[in-house]
Amino acid sequence: MGYPDQRFDVNLSILFTELPLLERPAAAAAAGFTAVELWWPWIETPTPPQAELDALKKALDDAGTQLVGLNFYAGQLPGPDRGALSVPGTESDRFRANIEVAADFAASTGCTALNALYGNRVEGVDPAVQDALALENLVLAARAADRVGATLLVETLNKPESPLYPLVSAPAAIEVIDKVNAATGLGNATFLLDLYHLSMNGEDLSQVIKAYAAKTGHVQIADNPGRGAPGTGSLPLERLLDELKDAGYTGRVGLEYKPGDRPSAESFGWLPAPARAAR
């Protein structure tokens, strides 16, 4: 048990960001990792030129890295936005324009997990209107994910850092997931269980794991406080990941932490080199 018993991947949108996007897969491979995940890399556009998509696929392939998780278009992330799918008007339209683009790119890389960030509450808009729009868009995203053999992920964020994001508890995300699965009948909407965000919300992490491991499609970690590498804070991450495994979770664990002031490659001392490659 413990860290060497897990299946890790590196989030290249928060680690190795000192490098240009197309150099990050090779840097992750040089650090010993063979599985990676990404936020939507083109924050300015949901529909980048095919040449840019092809260049990213080539960088992943050349490095020998498998893309295992990808966000749909989520607005300015990193930045003020926390998704686009529940934001009426232009942002919802941009999310819809991105659905098939992201699904097709996932298919081209063999990626089987697509994360749809819900989006912030908008002042002056009835939350019920936003929630209805969100359900429509999540149903479209779930169907596109199913078309390419992928699961749809819905994520809980944390209220201190994302005060306008409505899904700031595990039950809130699970409620949305259940609605999407009821609407599609596909059963491919799952929970992105991020131990850092849940801990920032003060949730009982062991209880969340027991309650929702069976509905969890992906896990992400960072230590708390600080959102740094495991061991920089006080979260018992090794024990919690063991609890997830004991509860039946067999998926990947995304490293979504800030490396601090050092180069990303120097932030992995907590994980023995032989445990970094995908299994």
The H or E element spanning position 177 is: helix 170-184
The reply to whether omega before 225 is within 30° of 0 (cis) is yes
Known active-site residue 256:
yes
- The Cα-based distances of 77 to 74, 92, 192 in angstroms read 6, 15, 17
Beta bridge partners of 10: 36, 255
Given the residues 37, 91, 203, 256, the one annotated as active site: 256
**Residue 229 exposed, middle or buried by CB count within 10 Å (0-12, 13-18, 19+):** buried
Q: What distance in Å separates the CA atoms of residue 199 and residue 157, rounded to the nearest whole number?
A: 10
Given the residues 44, 155, 161, 266, the one annotated as active site: 155
Per the document, the length of the chain is 279
What is the DSSP code (8-state) at residue 149? T
**For residue 272, which of 4, 1, 2 has the smallest C-alpha distance?**
4
- The catalytic residue positions are 155, 256
